[in-house]
Amino acid sequence: MMDLKQRLARFQQAARMARSGARIFKNAGFVEKLSARQLVAIAKTARDARRGIKGGAAIIHLHALTDPLRPALVDGDVRLSYGELEERVNRLTHGLRALGMGPGERVAAFLYNGHEYLELAAALQLLGGASVNVGYRLKAGEVAYILENSGARAMLFHGDLAPVVEEALTLVKSGNIAPIARDRCIAAGGAPGFRSYEELLAGGHASGPARVDGGGYGGVMIYTSGTTGRAKGATRDFRRMGMEPVLDFISRFPLRRDERHLVVCPLYHSMASAFVTMISMVGGCNVVVRHFDPELILRLIEKERITSTTVVPTMMARIVALGPEVLRKYDTSSLRWIMSGAAPLPTELARRIEDAFGPILYNFYGATETGLVTIALPGEHTARPGTIGRLINGNDVRFLDGDGREVPPGQVGELYVRNSMLMDGYHANQKATADATKDGFISVGDLAYRDADGYLYLADRKTDMVISGGVNIYPWEIEQRLHEHPGVQEAAVVGVPDPEWGESLTAFVVLRAGQSPSPEELGQWVKDALADYKRPRAFVFVEALPRTPTGKVLKRELKQRVTAGQQASA
């Protein structure tokens, strides 16, 4: 029996979700009068949801019934309506079922961005299976590790990745688990010696999905970027995922039914796939790009009349670095919003984006492990430099010191999050799960603080904090200052061993074209705004910073460059 306090909390949550839903309904433009046929289709969708069509598959099903010709997806020359997309998803469920896939089974997705990714995700939800997302840039040994660690029993991959798959399968055979059978490795686009994806679909029925007991939800396993060690598989069962943060998040920005969303971030990462689902929720069209190229993005915005996109800051930095003359060549007036996430957004970059595209930049904070946590609206990031916005409904946070005690408002602490979107844990790694969890809250190692107005700010990653002469230094603060220099395009600051201070600061800097500030000039630039002990001892000029595919700087690689140089000179 729930007590009065619990009942009140549930009522308040339901009221918040209703308000969010009403805002989404209004913003998305669902104002036209529904026909009798559409009302019948909606009722049929509700009935089918009770029979196992849930989640993303239910969204596709709804639009296929109410407006089957509505554009759903563009992938190069492939253009699919919601009706056509559902038919392909239905065929895929039969093909996967024939391979033995069902509730609880995991299928590895070793794919570039493409329609196959979206079809697989929906099909697995219908079957109650889980997608194991594998980054397409990974080498054979890394792929083999994920296959072994996840226990995936089938794989869908793009054909030109076949050499990596061949080697990975050989490595898995030498592991401690039974290898994936070759006949359960399916090649999109075809590959010698493997069954093709279209062949798998051809044997299925388009009129309805394969029916299995326990289907209808599914899940996903996403491997973390591994900036500080070997990747961990964050698991999420969609049956346990709450919707309050999602609904509130969607209601905060102008997501509309005529959305044409450019999908440029890798779909194996949680951010891109989450926004694809949000676009589909309102009946929008996802325009998928396989690889990022800054001028190609501008061409596609003009050609496809793109209304929105989700990016990591590095992508926007490369676009605005093209310069005003190139930007003016393309008509980007169709853009209504740009969402930045997955990595810290430098304030100076935010200003440049707003100068180029107008006040349409949103910034959010979240993680594979936590889901959606905060959102900053246009203008807030530049008005409050460094902010990641305010909390989305359904989130509770704590800021803890090294002893696990809450720090006072305004002070930096490790950010712990609790909401209904938290991961279930790291697969087969109880220690890592326990290390990240405290009293039902999860941390991914970010240091942050909250101001008196409720805005949150990232200070740095816990693993990136530098202790020099007994003083805590947050490199992100120094990087922000360097980004403001007219000659600096990007910067990353790391701590390296120092015999006198314990650690000292080294800044890696990417210069803007035609600019050549000296180390002394950059050092003085930092000193003019920050305490003297925050000035880097050394500056290293590089052509590019090493990053993960989702935009996070690989600072361990930068540290290794410095320490390797120190050892060589010793």
Max CA-CA distance within the chain?
81
Q: Which amino acid is at 175?
A: G
Average pLDDT, the chain: 89
Q: What is the pLDDT of residue 443?
A: 96
* C-alpha dist (Å) from residue 351 to 58, 312, 381: 40, 15, 9
Q: What is the pLDDT of residue 221?
A: 96
How many CA atoms lie less than 13 Å away from 91 in the CB half-sphere?
17
112-154 per-position pLDDT tens digit = 999 999 999 999 999 999 999 999 988 888 899 999 999 999 9
Report the Cα–Cα distance between both ends of the chain, in Å, rounded: 70
Tokens representing 204 are: 């299925």
Which stretch of 55-64, 110-119, 251-260, 389-398 has the lowest confidence by average pLDDT? 55-64
Q: Which amino acid is at 113?
A: N
Q: What is the mean pLDDT of residues 493-499?
A: 88
Is the pLDDT reported for residue 175 higher than 60? no
500-550 per-position pLDDT tens digit = 788 899 999 999 999 999 999 999 999 998 888 899 999 999 999 998 877
pTM for the full model?
0.87
- The secondary structure element, H or E, covering residue 56 is helix 55-66
Candidate ranges 12-26, 44-58, 243-257, 296-310; pick with highest mean pLDDT = 296-310
- % residues pLDDT > 70 (the chain): 91
Q: What is the mean pLDDT of residues 314-331?
A: 94
Domains defined for the chain, CATH in brackets: 71-223 (3.40.50.980), 246-463 (3.40.50.12780), 465-569 (3.30.300.30)
Q: What is the pLDDT of residue 227?
A: 47
Residue 554, judged by CB atoms within 10 A of its CB (0-12, 13-18, 19+), counts as middle
**Cα–Cα distance between 158 and 180 in angstroms, integer?**
17
Q: What is the pLDDT of residue 364?
A: 97
Single out the residue of 458, 501, 455, 463 nearest to residue 477, CA to CA: 458
